[in-house]
Structure 1
Amino acid sequence: MQDNTAAADHVDLCIIGSGSGLSLIDDDINDWQIALIDNGIGPNDAFGGTCLNAGCIPSKMFSFPATYALAPTHAARVDVDLGVQGIDFKAIQARTFGRTDAISASGLAGLIRRENLQVLFGSATFVDDHTVRVGHRQITADRIVIAAGSRPRQVRAPGFDDPYLQAFVYTSESIMRVEELPQRLIILGGGIEAVEFAHIFAAMGSQVSIISRSEPLLRALDSSVAIRVTEELAQRLVLRLNQSVIGLDSDDAGGVVVSTQDAHGIEYTYQADAVLTCVGRIPNGDQLRVDKAGISLDEKGFIPVDQYLRTSVPHIWALGDVCSPQMLKHLANAQARLVKRNLLAERAGRPLEARDERFVPQGIFTEPQVASVGATEEQLQESGVDYVVHVQEYASVAYGWAMNDIDHFVKLLADPTGEHLLGAHIVGPDATILIQPLVQAMNLNQTISDVAKGQYWIHPALTEVVENALLGVLRVAAEQSAAL
């Protein structure tokens, strides 16, 4: 990597992080001197952020072929006998990282060519509210944007800090570059990363076990969805739920042994060739010494921001995982665009634009797929909000018949009139695509009647399950209103 050490130490804008923060750099601010500071991602200290190098993009390039590997099971449901001849794990790795590594390298090269930009590599720490140190350099800036992302949380149990045993322990930032497909893989955690990687490695041939301290998997989701995913994954891999990890030891036969304990104090041991820790992520604000700039982290380690994405120091902004508990790339991208618009508005003396993050969707690329937006039924119950609910099975529409699908559904939550969506949750094939008209309805404040009845829905496409779910909510609301 190169370092433009000849550039001036004072800049108009300093950006910390090379993920979504890169969206700020374009021709609109060519008249600004910019410093970009990046510490790299993963075992190769890759440039370009988590999503490109160790997150969304490479994991989907793994999950797509993994889903193909399940084709014989799905085909058998419609009387087709298929077989998988094999999976070339090395070829998948080469195709994935051949593309992402090239994008990282070319993106960096293009940035270095910009005359108004200096790229600095290393850990950034604040000296004061206008000064950032990286290595032996100090950069002063009129404006600073913190886009430093997050990092995998480490398991704090005996053995996980042992240098020898660490060779068997991976995180989401390293597991996809493992030298050989592990025969026995233990995944610690029950969230999104855990179920996505469980799908990938189980489909590719590993004997996968998930160990989670709670039940069901994906417990932050609507419980109907979480339970369905847990039931389906239990058919493909081993689930050890309601167990906490208490240690990691070497195995005389090679590999490692993970020790756990359940709620009754009973201890268990599990052998593995590799252990993947998916126990959450930590925002990187704690590594930046933001207190030196007059910024305090909240109780969960996030940098607080206002409706414009400014921190408590008006010329310092933040975006992405470092300030957003959702930790979603599409949210970080939207925040980067908003910060960019607000930087330009501030320069021009125009009013700043406020963010609207009420209805941010999420997708989970396991098998089955999951997508959700808005409130869960449990959240509505806890907050005392009145609602109506309707569940539409894939099996109720023609394309669902063609698929012979008996497991999957769309669940909608609406206000008592049935006209305004409060939450939407889908589990099943193409869930991350089917959710989009519902995301649009919520963000644009469209009524359910308008969305369901104001357009043509292709017959017999799978999207009819969404149409019928919307009509079902209207019907349930009308029935409940008539019963009053």
Structure 2
Amino acid sequence: MNTFDVVVIGSGPGGYVSAIRCAQLGYSTAIIEKYSTLGGTCLNVGCIPSKALLDSSHHYYDAIHHLEDHGISVGGQVSFDLAKMISRKASVVDQNVSGIKYLMDKNKITVFEGVGSFVDAHQVSVAKADGSSEVLSAKNIIIATGSKPASLPFISIDKERIITSTEALKLKEVPKHLVIIGGGVIGLELGQVYRRLGAEVSVVEFMDRIIPTMDAALSKELTKVFKKQGMKFYTSHKVQEVSRKGNEVKVVALDAKGQTVELVGDYALVSVGRRAYTDGLNLEKAGITVNARGQVETNDKLQTAQPHIYAIGDVVVGAMLAHKAEEEGVFVAETIAGQHPHINYNLIPGVVYTWPEVAAVGYTEEQLKEKGVAYKSGSFPFKALGRSRASGDTDGFVKILSDEKTDEVLGVHMIGARVADLIAEAVTAMEFRASAEDIARMSHAHPTYAEAVKEAALASSANRPIHM
């Protein structure tokens, strides 16, 4: 029997980062992955491949709509090769997966390919593709099995016309009409990919706005931009039925007044969130429980009912984000080592990688109002920024919310060019409990998109933006 200090089940961002940190701390570490490639959903069928397609489609869209403004003529008809886009995406995935394999070797982490399941609280069986199995014994076990796309009970996903994000990343044709069920991050990102390539795109969302967990101002602005790009939205619509006949898919929904709306397309993308994936783990043999949503129950140290067994990432309560899983992976490794790490979950940023990008950290205005917190709000539009005018990316704004009395930054909400990168400034400031005035007094290079953060801070702290 193989014996390790730490066995990690799952090689996604949480799992592989946790394994690396455990190895750095001197623990003999093994990682179990049921697929033939490492990296989990994020690297294989999530974050990385979707960004590759977003970038490819963005180049095509710019060539058609924006190059002429810059005095660039491509001549003739601009065209795209979907198969080549998909192939490039696969190449990007392969490079990242190979990188994870290199890191496993570099850190002397033993990789087992197969399905991991508990034998008892200290032993994990690995069932391999050839039918054989072996048992690993561990002092500590980390569950990092991630999540899978969720669905609605009455929807039958056939993976051909009624699809999830996994299938949407490898279509062999651009849909004529893609109906997206769910107005969250994943659906909007893939919707923009195919809208840029010529598909009609309709988004059906149960809530009264898209990206409903983010600040309402971000939702309003993103909706406005998407509508200009030709996307259609059916918010406050409850899906009742999804059916397929041949190559035609019909989505039936009820609007807020109870009226029936029918949308007919050639593909329906079911994007209603994700669910914790614990299938086949045999958690009961280890004495581990899950909550009503199927998530593994943990304490504030991410320990399960068995103190030496931890759970991280999408399989536990909290935002289903790769970087949240990474933070938890490091947290658990350092906890095992007797250190005292911390995670401030309020400062885990959220990002939508559409264009314009959307990013946020901290409290929304709606949350502050609900909590009864007195706050100040300052915004600055990208259209007033020199760098934005130079690039032509003038959609969006930066909004900073600060405490009315102390001026401490409570939330930062952005939509615009490169805000996925800009949000790190806000996270840094909030980690050190900066005031809006602190940010306003920092020198920001000119001309940059980051100047919008400084201007929003000026607006929030003293209502005195310079360029507006």
Provide the TM-score with structure 2 as the length reference. Answer: 0.88
Residue 224 and residue 133 in structure 1: after superposition, are their counterparts in 2 closer, same or farther (change >3 A)? Answer: same
Letter in 2 for 1:156: P
Q: Determine which of 113, 135, 156 is the counterpart of 2:153.
A: 156
Whether 1:224 aligns to 2:213 is no
Which one of the candidate residues 392, 417, 442 is aligned to 2:380? 392
Q: Sort the Cα spacing of 1:380 and 1:75 in 2 relative to 1 into closer, same or farther, 3 A.
A: farther
Give the equivalent residue in structure 1 for 2:296: 303
Partner Cα separation in structure 1 for residue 209 and residue 74 of structure 2: 32
- 1:338 aligned onto 2:338: no
For residues 332-355 of structure 1, the C-alpha deviation after alignment (integer angstroms, 9 at most, x for no partner) is: 122222222233x24xxxx43333
- Check the 8 A contact 1:144/1:315 in 2, yes or no: yes
Alignment correspondent of 1:442: 430
Percent identical: 28
Q: 2:452 aligned with 1:465, yes or no?
A: yes
- In the other structure, the counterpart of 1:128 is 120
Unaligned runs of 5+ in 2: 128-132
Letter of the 2:284 partner, please give it.
D
| Structure 1 pair 444–14 and aligned structure 2 pair: CA distance change class (3 A) | same
Q: How does 1:80-229 map to 2 (within 5 A)?
A: 85-104=78-97, 107-108=100-101, 111=104, 117-122=110-115, 124-135=116-127, 136-157=133-154, 160=156, 165-229=158-222
Query: What is the CA-CA distance between 1:112 and the residue it aligns to?
Result: 7.6
Answer yes or no: is 1:354 the counterpart of 2:337.
no
* Aligned-partner residue type, residue 444 of structure 1: F
Q: Which moved more, 1:51-60 or 1:205-214?
A: 205-214
User: 2:130 — aligned with what?
Assistant: none
Q: For 1:181-227, what per-residue CA distance to the aligned partner results, in whole angstroms no more than 9, with x for missing partners?
A: 22221111111111111111111222212122222111111111111
Query: How far is the alpha carbon of 1:66 from its aligned partner?
Result: 1.9
SS at match of 2:166: coil
1:216, 1:363 → 2: CA distance?
A: 17
Alignment of 1:422 onto 2:415: no
Report what 2:49 is aligned to: 58
| 456, 469, 478: which one aligns with 2:443 | 456
**For residues 104-144 of structure 1, what are the alpha-carbon distances to aligned partners after superposition, in whole Å with 9 as ceiling and x for unaligned?**
3574487589877250312x333332233343444332110
Task: Look up the match of 2:237.
Answer: 243
Query: Structure 2: which amino acid aligns with 1:244?
Result: K
Report whether the alignment pairs 1:69 with 2:60. Answer: yes
Q: 1:38 aligns with which of 19, 33, 38?
A: 33
CA contact (8 A) 2:346 2:361 kept: no
Classify 1:261/1:23 alpha carbon distance in 2 versus 1 (closer, same or farther; 3 Å): same
- How has the CA–CA distance of structure 1 residues 237 and 416 changed in structure 2, closer, same or farther, with 3 Å as cutoff? same
Is the 2:33–2:111 Cα contact (8 Å) retained in structure 1? no
* Matches of 1:393 and 1:379, distance apart in 2: 23
> What is the SS of the residue equivalent to 1:471?
helix
Structure 1 residues not aligned, in runs of 5+: 1-7, 478-484
Q: Does 1:375 align with 2:367?
A: no
Contact kept? 1:321, 1:332, Cα under 8 Å: yes
The amino acid across from 1:352 in the alignment is H
Query: In the alignment, which residue of structure 2 is the partner of 1:5?
Result: none
| Alpha-carbon displacement from aligned partner over 1:125-164 (angstroms, at most 9, x marks no partner) | 3333223334344433211011111110023225x15xxx
1:132 aligned partner, one-letter code? V
Deviates more, 1:58-67 or 1:304-313: 304-313
Relative distance call for 1:369 and 1:475 in structure 2 (3 A) is same
What amino acid is the match of 2:453? Answer: V
Asked if 1 retains the 8 angstrom alpha-carbon contact of 2:61 and 2:197, the reply is no
3-state SS of 1:61 partner: helix
TM-superposed CA distance for 1:372, in Å, is 0.3
SS in 2 for 1:125: strand
- CA distance, structure 2, for counterparts of residue 354 and residue 405 of structure 1: 37
Equivalent residue letter for 1:468? E
RMSD (CA atoms): 2.9
Q: Secondary structure at the match of 1:12?
A: strand
In structure 2, the residue matched to 1:480 is none
Mean Cα displacement is larger for which, 168-177 or 296-305? 296-305
User: Which residue in 1 is equivalent to 2:312?
Assistant: 319
Letter paired with 1:299 = A
